[in-house]
Structure 1
Amino acid sequence: MGYRVVVVGATGNVGREMLNILAEREFPLDDIVAVASPRSTGDIIDFGDSGRELKVRNLEHFDFEGWDIALFAAGSGPTKIYAPKAAAAGCTVIDNSSLYRMDPDVPLIVPEVNPEAIDLYRHKNIIANPNCSTAQMVVALKPLHDVARIKRVVVSTYQSVSGAGKAGMDELFEQSRNIFVGDANEPVKFTKQIAFNVIPHIDSFLDDGSTKEEWKMVVETKKILDPSIKVTATCVRVPVFVGHSESINIEFERELSAEDAQAILREAPGVMLVDKREDGGYVTPVEVVGEYATYVSRVREDPTIENGLNLWCVSDNLRKGAALNAVQIAELLGRRHLQKAA
């Protein structure tokens, strides 16, 4: 016996990836429906590589009664309207937007890191999926934190344009082409040219000079992993289509050698260690597209601080940073609470 699952925002990058992953992982389904905004109503989309096609239904008129799980990839605006309606109808919402992440009554879940927190979902029948850059970082940090207790994290991100949706990917492609042929390449989605450039600005600026993306990494890491960890972040958009990278500097309470850290990460759930100290002995974004794991490379000791390590972390942001994590939450919810799967 399986579940009746709704994918909301099914025609977007993350929604399509949710459908792909549900099919790939053979999530136990009795029924599945693709739902999106009125402009996509009636469109036909693939349910992964299953050979099955789904006709998109209109979110504005969709009745969530009788459905078990709704994976929301629709953005904060529609989510604010329709997620509470779905939850009230008895359909558990797993939301990919930022809307509920810091709500104290809504668990913020990365299954490899804080699975027990999902037990709080009954407060609102809503579960939050973290920011893409936070998700991969805490997967890498958790096993190290368990052993040596992390005091402080300094992270610089190299985030792909797919984090800004299809419009971001289209802008990188069009600007790159226009530069080669000598056409105009004015930015539309981004604040400056993204092709052959990097932009140290993701999301809106806050009063202290940080951006909202940087703030998300700070507060979400504390909520998911440990409120005592100090985090400072600089988030940068780079001309990569898919795959976020992070340079992470970690200060621990206790000594942890690079060799011990490598051994821990090699066995950690959700982590793939690729760390050879030679040319090409590390992972880059183009190599992780379509992969489930969070990849870690360049693990080395930081001699400038006591008990310090540096590492390089790469993941497919449309997967572990969004769709995969949401499906893993649904799997965890089934195991711990719904218990309908065969």
Structure 2
Amino acid sequence: MNTIAETSQHQVLSGASAACQSVNEMIDLVAALPTTVLIHGESGTGKERVARGLHEGSDRAQGPFVAINCAALSGALLESELFGYEQGAFTGARAGGKRGLFEAANGGTLFLDEVGELPLEIQPQLLRFIETGEIRPIGQNRSMRVDTRVIAATNRDLRAMIKEGRFREDLYYRLNVLPVEIPALRERLEDLPELAGHFLRRFARRFGRPVEAISKKAMLVLKSYEWPGNVRELENVMERAVMLCRGKELRPEHLFMPGSGDLEEASAPTGEGSGVGDPIPLAELERLHILAVLKGLGGNQKRASGVLGISKSTLWRKLKEYGIDASKLASSS
């Protein structure tokens, strides 16, 4: 997600670093192959976009690309979503039954995000599909064949989960035929100017802002940060900064990041073209900052409280105060 230059499938990850180009080369190499792929990377690195790049570079590109986050649904709901069900299969089953996502992706690709969260009781069904190409909807006594390629992604250490008895070893090896490792943003900081510039131009157009460039000091602040939320966090920082910038150059005080200056600097008038404009209420700045950090970390409140330097209870209180629903920001790609 969002690590993408709006270019061809051969440049899925944006940037000229060796780490970035290695991933793009791997995508080119494995896209056309029919086997399963396991994408590994931290939250916010762009796992779903890499999966889409693999799909678009394959002979299935004209077929559907169907994505599901395995952490978003409970075991029973996830099973019915993936495999479908027959009419009357269980209490509350839809009249006429329901087609599952494996069937919906027939002729295309099914992307299983956060596959490490797949319940143990469902893992044998996924393994069976990979081995036989067959699924069995809930309530049906016969299997059916579907032509669906599986691409999975995780930010978990699946080998450690195997040792803990939380992930099947045989399923791991079936998924990990062709592994793709996405580097964290801190491991390819030389790509940050290109990414930040891309987001600046995008949001300047979207919000009608005159900002055209990032100052050297602001870029230094961006490069000095660890980026625990990776490219997704960078995108949200740039979105907020562009909203706050009223001039042609984005400066450190627009970033509201460690090392970017304090609020007094941000609201002090510095002359024509300073980019600050009318002062923004402190509460609104705090709300925007909390929202941006949460978005950057996929809604993870524990990590967000650490980045913000406040306790989880304080963060919970502020979320309630500002009417922010962190569950709607949950995303791991």
Q: Which structure has the larger Rg over C-alpha atoms?
A: 2
TM-score, length basis structure 1:
0.25
User: Which structure has more strand as a fraction of its residues?
Assistant: 1
Structure with greater proportional helix content: 2
